[in-house]
A and B are shown apart, each in its own frame.
Chain A
Amino acid sequence: MNHSRSWRGRALAVAGLSATLVLAACGGGGGEAGSQQGSSSQGAQAAFNAASTSVVNPSDKKGGTLKFANEGDWDTLDPGETYYAYSWNFARLYGRSLMMFQSAPGKEGNQLVPDLAEAAGEPSDGAKTWTYKLRKGVKFDDGAEVTSADVKYAVLRSTDKQIFPNGPAYWDALLDLPSGYKGPYKTPNMNTDSAIETPDEYTIVFHMKKPFAAFDYLAQQPDTMPVPKDKDTGAKYRNSIVSTGPYKFADVQPGKSFNLVRNDQWDQATDPNRKALPDRIEVTLNVNADDIDNRILSGDLDVAVTAVGVQPAAQSRILQDPNLKANADNPLGVRNWYTSIIPTVAPLNNIECRKAIMYAMDHTAYQTAYGGVFAGGDIATTILPPSVPGHADFDLFPSGPDHKGDLDAAKKSLEACGQPNGFATNMGYRAERPKEKATAEAFQQALGRVGIQLTLKPYPQGDYFAQYCGLPPYVVKNKLGLCTNGWAADWPDGFGFLSQITDSRVIRPAGGSSNMSVRIPEVDKMLDQALTELNTDKRNQMWGEIDKRVMEEAVIYPGVYSKSLLARSKNASNIFVTDAYGEYDYLGLGAQK
């Protein structure tokens, strides 16, 4: 519903109604939703969590406007630097990367399909070299055709970490860049063919330092979206992006809003992956999070773009109202909230003491600390969440039928590690995160049942990895046996999920690594081996084996596979969750008005 009716008369009415501010306004949501529920466009498909596995309100109708809102500012719209899942999901509207996640519901959304490229990458030289052929006829929004040089430039500019410090750093680490290369701004004349070659306008060849069998995942990153060199404005490009997708930018107001309108240079014939249904997409930034929820529930807004889930006030409304609940979804994210059990701190250098923690902890308390079944997530027993290919269901440390811990097994482990009466250690968590504080308290209470005494230590989140829990000497000196942690993969693949949290070689003495506890040389070798395996199914199986091997060492206590409660738009069509991002697929959405 719009607000185009006369506002003058209403303004006068409001002055007289100001005394009615004391009236409760929170009720009545069911009535509003009820009237929308009856519409035939949603019909029988409206059910709780329906969009996680199927398309709700399917339609191919073109036209209309979709309205998005972000409770904060966008990290950046520059595809070379953006580093949030929602932004990668959204960027496919205005940019085309070499590969992309298929716009399809559920697990199908995890499939990589060629986007700017004609087909998946061709490996050679033992998976150290990857070649892509670009589709012909793809254009920028100014009419210039996209060439391989534009893709090369896009990738190389993203390696300048002084101009783009926030983006992913895979290219810097993996490409065989020449020594001393500092990006195209500082070293524009350096020959970079050792890293990326463009033998012709439609061919691009990547050379890696080491074999990398999962290269197509790198190729789906937004930093492969082409950037024309003559239109590049470095750190300011975020406000003047040249589009290759079905939409281009209009009216960008940094920190406030931006709109996407149809890109008349986009050719459907070159793009089998997108339907481009709405005519216009409006995005408002820095909107109050509770207000976003109210507006979606009232039909004034379509999508809360960050997909972190509704706020507690809206959550209780939705879960208590059958009509609202039928139009909500609870997708699994690609994130695991877990706790590191650090083996460099005695007595946790003894595996049996670590196992005692694994058995004694109350898993439901962990889930409750994170917000319960809907807002927290599902109880985790593995490192890889179910939405990541390679996930295997296993539970090496069963916590009883009620998931509250197996105290007998815990006590046996304590005896085996020579601590029959328990022991004392410290637990770190990020002070600004109430859920982590609640998690630490849950650990304190649960482990206290078997005599393991925890002293809780809050640390500022800005320095948590660099100065505290992620700094190995500090951890040992301050006897931090446990530290809350969490990881979301950059993409739903074993490498994306496991490399930064299970490879011991990422642990730096100077701190800063997300891997606080996994130092297993065998696992390092398994990771390297997996990256040489070109068969996807076999590679995924290897990721599962790595998961299990790490869990055997009891250095990670998996807490919850994160979930979020999302409210569906009353205006949007083709609503479905993609497992690639654990969010509504922004590419597929249409608008009814």
Chain B
Amino acid sequence: MFAYIVRRLLWAVVLLVVLSMVTFSIFYLVPLLGGATPETLAARYVGRAATPETVHLTAEKLGLLDPVPVQYWNWLKGVFVGASYDYGAGVEQCPAPCLGYSFVTKQPVWPELLDRAPVTISLALGASIIWLVAGLSVGVISALRRGTIFDRGAMGIALAGVSLPIFFTGLIALAFFSYKLRITAPGGTFVPFSENPARWAYSLLLPWITLAFLFSAQYARLTRAGMLETMTEDYIRTARAKGLPERRVILKHALRGALTPVLTIFGLDVGLLLGGAVLTEKTFSLNGLGKYGYDAIVNQDLPKILGVTLVAGFFVIMTNLFVDLLYGVIDPRVRLE
């Protein structure tokens, strides 16, 4: 098991380096292959009345005049040993891991990512707990009461949840609960957990519920389908025949068997969300990684794009590792070698 984990972690590093090379190529190399010049790239980061000299100076400052492999090497070096940045009135040392400086805001990328990560982590974890609990509960009950009004109603609401986009439900929820009824926090009022845990939860309650509404649908349907399948298995009949309480039969035996596909999806969903729930963060004005990445793309801020991509990739890799480890716990037939 330990060797398995170490191997996976080493592969994670390799994957992240490959990811960085691919991302770097897409944003730094492909435009040049398409006919752009360092100056035309730099022109995106200057004011509207910039002279050609200003554009050239900017291209030089941003390192765009160097060959792309040199730019990548300088960036990679910064990740492992740090870099320095001339801000005019002085030179600042950017300690490792230095993911560069924003082309637009001139701020170092890594501290900004660290600053925004708690928002996204809070949003993703809180919503995932709600949708997992809600989805599993509804799925189990629907499976046990198959064909009843509850089953049909729950699946109908699940369909609505998965069909309605977050920017619709989110804005409606804000307008109704936050500004009309005034019982939830307005948008953009995130309070860090370390500052006040209760207010942290209050500030995220509406985004959690709205996001969970979107995701719990598929978990309810997956759980229901899995339960319906496992409830017909022989070992369930055996468990009942042995006189086990029905609750134990369902929760310990049937649900456990139905969890594998749910876990797979859960790992993917949480991993992707940790990389940034763009629409949710934008709707609720949460300054998380998703919004950071979105703004980076809109502004074509390459260091930020690179930073967010790597962080998102890291989270996807780590959550998938976690899910794989969990398989071994949940399903004794799985041996991690």
- A-side residues, CB < 8 A to B, are 1, 3, 7-8, 10-11, 13-15, 17-26, 28, 32, 69, 72-73, 76, 83, 157, 160-163, 165-169, 172-173, 183, 185, 232-238, 254-256, 284, 286-288, 290-291, 294-295, 297-298, 300, 462-463, 466-467, 500, 508, 510, 512, 514
Contacts and interface: CB of A to CB of B under 8 A. Distances in A.
A83 B282 CA distance: 25
Given A11-B205, A22-B160, A161-B57, 8 more contacts: A15-B209, A17-B183, A26-B175, A166-B46, A234-B88, A236-B89, A256-B287, A466-B43
Given A11-B205, A161-B50, A291-B171, A254 B40 contact: no
Nearest to A69: B188
B185 interface: yes
Given A17-B177, A235-B106, A185 B89 contact: yes
B105 A14 contact: no
Given A169-B47, A286-B291, A510 B53 contact: no
Contacts of B90: 233-234
B112 A290 contact: no
Nearest to B179: A298
A256 B137 CA distance: 38
Contacts of B291: 286
B21 to A, nearest CB: 24
B171 A290 contact: yes
18 contacts: A8-B202, A21-B213, A161-B53, A163-B87, A165-B50, A169-B51, A185-B89, A235-B88, A238-B106, A254-B107, A255-B292, A256-B287, A287-B188, A291-B188, A294-B174, A294-B179, A462-B43, A466-B40
Contacts of B54: 161-162, 165, 169
Interface string B282-293: 111101000110
Interface in B155-195: 157, 160, 169, 171-177, 179-180, 182-189
A11 B204 CA distance: 10
A508 B179 contact: no
Given A294-B175, A294-B179, A295-B186, A463 B43 contact: yes
B83 to A, nearest CB: 15
Contacts of B47: 83, 165-169
Give the one of A1, A72, A286 with max B CB within 10 A: A286
A462 B302 CA distance: 14
The 9 A-B pairs at the shortest CB distance, nearest first, are namely A234-B88, A25-B176, A234-B89, A163-B88, A298-B179, A161-B54, A10-B183, A235-B87, A162-B57
A193 B52 CA distance: 26
B180 A232 contact: no
Contact of B173 (A25, A72, A256): A25
A172 B49 CA distance: 11
Given A14-B177, A466-B40, A508-B52, A288 B87 contact: no
A162 B184 contact: no
B154 to A, nearest CB: 11
B7 interface: no
B29 to A, nearest CB: 17
Interface in B26-82: 36, 40, 43-55, 57-58, 60-61
B57 A288 contact: no
A6 to B, nearest CB: 10
B23 interface: no
Contacts of B58: 161-162, 165
Interface string B199-213: 101100110011001
A255 B61 contact: no
A273 B216 CA distance: 57
Contacts of A163: 61, 87-88
B190 to A, nearest CB: 9
A38 B160 CA distance: 40
A448 B85 CA distance: 56
A83 B188 CA distance: 26
Nearest to A170: B49
B297 interface: no
B89 A233 contact: yes
A287 B178 CA distance: 15
B25 interface: no
Contacts, number: 182
Given A167-B47, A235-B88, A3 B105 contact: no
B184 to A, nearest CB: 6
A510 B52 contact: yes
A462 B160 contact: no
Contacts of A25: 172-173, 175-177, 180
A76 B102 CA distance: 13
B269 interface: no
Contacts of B60: 162
B300 interface: yes
Contacts of A237: 89
Contacts of A23: 176
A172 B52 CA distance: 13
A295 B198 CA distance: 23
B151 interface: no
Given A25-B172, A256-B287, A467-B40, A512 B50 contact: yes
B285 to A, nearest CB: 4
B324 interface: no
A20 B213 CA distance: 12
Contact of B187 (A172, A256, A291): A291
Contacts of B49: 168-169, 500
Contacts of A169: 47, 49-51, 54
B31 to A, nearest CB: 10
Contacts of A255: 105, 107, 112, 287, 292
Given A463-B40, A508-B52, A21 B173 contact: yes
A462 B297 CA distance: 13
B282 to A, nearest CB: 6
Contacts of A72: 295
Contacts of B36: 463
Nearest to B161: A21
Contacts of B198: 7-8
B256 to A, nearest CB: 28
A500 B51 CA distance: 12
B111 to A, nearest CB: 10
Contact of B285 (A172, A234, A286): A286
A287 B295 CA distance: 12
Contacts of B173: 21, 25
Nearest to A230: B89
B35 to A, nearest CB: 9
Given A3-B186, A160-B88, A298-B180, A14 B205 contact: yes
B64 to A, nearest CB: 13
Contacts of A254: 105, 107, 112
Nearest to A508: B52
A34 to B, nearest CB: 14
Contacts of B283: 288, 291
Nearest to B101: A235
